[in-house]
């Protein structure tokens, strides 16, 4: 089956620093990648949708200057949390799909802790 | 937008028991998926099931699209089945709308 990886799996950083999370589709070309955020004991919340070579579409309430998304190739998307604060601590999950009607495949997630 | 409701929110069972998880949705959908999120956070696709019944080992799922619900059956539960089970439906824009999940704990 399709495999999506995320790196790092866990990151701890100081308040005010920026953190970059990578999402890679390992065995298929992903025309679309999605970034989700999950708070403890809650469901996934879609943050943004990114299509290769174009700007990401952010969901209402998600600050695009805070969460920078780059989808530079068909196998890589990055999420950068800029000037991170403790309230940004969360579990971030990416997913990828190759066609509009195809299923999404999920990465293992990245647990971000901001001190 | 489409609303997705899952029940029960929590379920505690002894190893070997059977269980049924339910997912109701409020409008017509392109597709429906069941996921298992393990204790480490990894989401695993269980079923991609817009309608009908599918089986995979001890797990099976049935979606009745006309009545807007889906059921996930787990038979002979094992401790490794513990985790959160999510139902997600695809709306007309092929985006996933998630239920709140059912947290399943299987005790040895």
Residues B86-105 pLDDT 10s:
999 998 888 899 999 999 99
Q: Do A111 and B94 touch (CB under 8 A)?
A: no
A17 CA: distance to closest CA in chain B (Å): 25
pLDDT at A3: 92
Whether B12 has a pLDDT exceeding 90, the answer reads yes
CA distance B94 to B23: 18
DSSP-derived 3-state class of residue B23: strand
Nearest CB neighbour to B94, from listed A42, A100, A106:
A100
CA distance B67 to A98: 30
Nearest CB neighbour to B41, from listed A41, A43, A91:
A91
What is the percent of chain A where pLDDT is above 90?
79
CB within 8 A of B60, min separation 6: which ones? B53, B54, B72, B73, B75
Whether A1 has a pLDDT exceeding 80, the answer reads no
Closest CA to B4 of B101, B100, B99: B99
CA distance A105 to A29: 12
Residue A26: how many CA atoms within 13 Å on its side-chain side? 11
Contact (Cβ atoms closer than 8 angstroms) between residue A20 and residue A79: yes
What is the percent of chain A where pLDDT is above 70?
99
Between A and B, how many CB-CB pairs are < 8 A?
38
Nearest CB neighbour to A104, from listed B42, B96, B103:
B96
Q: Do A108 and B40 touch (CB under 8 A)?
A: yes
CA distance A66 to A13: 16
């Amino acid at each position: 089956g399709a495999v999506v990886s995320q790196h790092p799996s866990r990151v701890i950083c100081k308040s005010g620093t920026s953190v970059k999370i990578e999402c890679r589709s390992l065995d298929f070309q992903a025309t679309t990648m999605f970034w989700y955020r999950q708070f403890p004991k809650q469901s996934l919340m879609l943050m943004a949708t990114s299509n290769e070579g174009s700007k990401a579409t952010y969901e209402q309430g998600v600050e695009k200057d805070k969460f920078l998304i780059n989808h530079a190739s068909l196998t890589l998307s990055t999420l950068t949390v800029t000037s991170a604060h403790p309230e940004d601590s969360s579990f971030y999950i990416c997913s990828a799909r190759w066609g509009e009607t195809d299923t999404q495949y999920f990465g293992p997630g990245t647990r971000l802790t901001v001190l | 937008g489409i609303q997705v409701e899952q029940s029960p929110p929590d379920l505690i069972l002894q190893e070997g028991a059977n269980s049924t998880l339910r997912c109701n949705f409020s409008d017509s959908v392109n597709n429906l998926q069941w996921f298992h999120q393990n204790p480490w956070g990894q989401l695993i696709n269980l079923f991609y099931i817009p309608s009908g019944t599918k089986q995979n080992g001890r797990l099976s799922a049935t979606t009745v699209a006309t009545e807007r619900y889906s059921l996930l059956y787990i038979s002979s539960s094992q401790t490794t089945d513990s985790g959160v089970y999510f139902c997600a439906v695809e709306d007309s824009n092929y985006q996933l709308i998630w239920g709140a999940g059912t947290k399943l704990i299987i005790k040895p």
